[in-house]
Structure 1
């Protein structure tokens, strides 16, 4: 978050979007031309992600009052993959304009489920399961933040190693 020379806070500085600079009118217009394709990419990706999440839920059913492993593993995996994806598409490659909407918003947005996390947490924060509820709340928050951070660092390290190896061979 930065202030410009006039001291006015620039809210757009909080948003990092490599695809479009909303301060540039020419790029804002670009969004209108691709709106339909973006909607299709997000929709298809969201369906794929939701089906994958459903599959995990079938493989790991949660008993009443038990730790919701399916949602925990889904969100942990999704956060890790978001960390990898965001580094790859913002620092390593120049992606197709629909890659981020398809994979980031669509597949990984449909795959992760923090709304289910909220509902399951609420249901567990009751007498008899309150310990599981607080454990789930804390474990999900901490582990998902660690996963996205570690994935981003790991991806940067692998990319740096690959660049050094390629540079050394040339």
Structure 2
């Protein structure tokens, strides 16, 4: 039951962080490119690498907390569905280049940031 509570609490926090962080990014740089979604997904990629690597190598993070942080918080923070929708809308609007850049940079940059998170956890 503790795991379910962690998922719920951290999931709500992740959703709120996504809402405020992506909104803040859009306020700063505009909406010509899905920067807000890009930002939360990059942050989430880094954090999942960091959390998983650290928690699997250490006893400081319980399995319940790890699940709460990854499934709950990061599940609420990151968003593949918004990424898909925004990319689809770009394609529908004839913005093939921007849609392609969104897909390629999102996948590649998120992989790099996951690796950076893992590397950071190994350094700790």
The two structures have a TM-score, normalised by structure 2, of 0.89
Greater relative contact order, per chain length (Cα 8 Å cut-off, separation 6+): 2
Aligned twin of 2:38? 72
Task: Give 1:102 deviation, angstroms.
Answer: 1.5
Q: What is the rounded CA distance, in whole Å, between the counterparts of 2:25 and 2:74 in structure 1?
A: 19
RMSD: 1.5
Structure 1 segments unaligned to the other structure (5+ residues): 1-35, 160-170
Q: Deviations over 1:31-89 (max 9, x none)?
A: xxxxx2222111111100000000012212353xx211000010000100110001110
Partner of 1:92: 58
Which runs of 4 or more aligned residues in structure 1 lie more than 4 Å from their structure 2 counterparts after TM superposition? none
Which residue in 1 is equivalent to 2:11? Answer: 46
Q: TM-score normalised to the size of structure 1? A: 0.66
Number of residue pairs matched by the alignment: 121
| Distance in 2 of aligned mates of 1:153 and 1:91 | 12
> How does 1:13-162 map onto structure 2 within 5 Å?
36-61=1-26, 62-63=30-31, 66-156=32-122, 158-159=123-124
CA distance in structure 1 between the partners assigned to 2:120 and 2:114 by the alignment: 10
After TM superposition, give the deviation of residue 98 of structure 1 in Å: 1.8
How far is the alpha carbon of 1:104 from its aligned partner? Answer: 1.0
Q: Which has the higher helix share?
A: 2
Residue 108 of structure 1 deviates from its aligned partner by: 1.0
SS in 2 for 1:98: helix
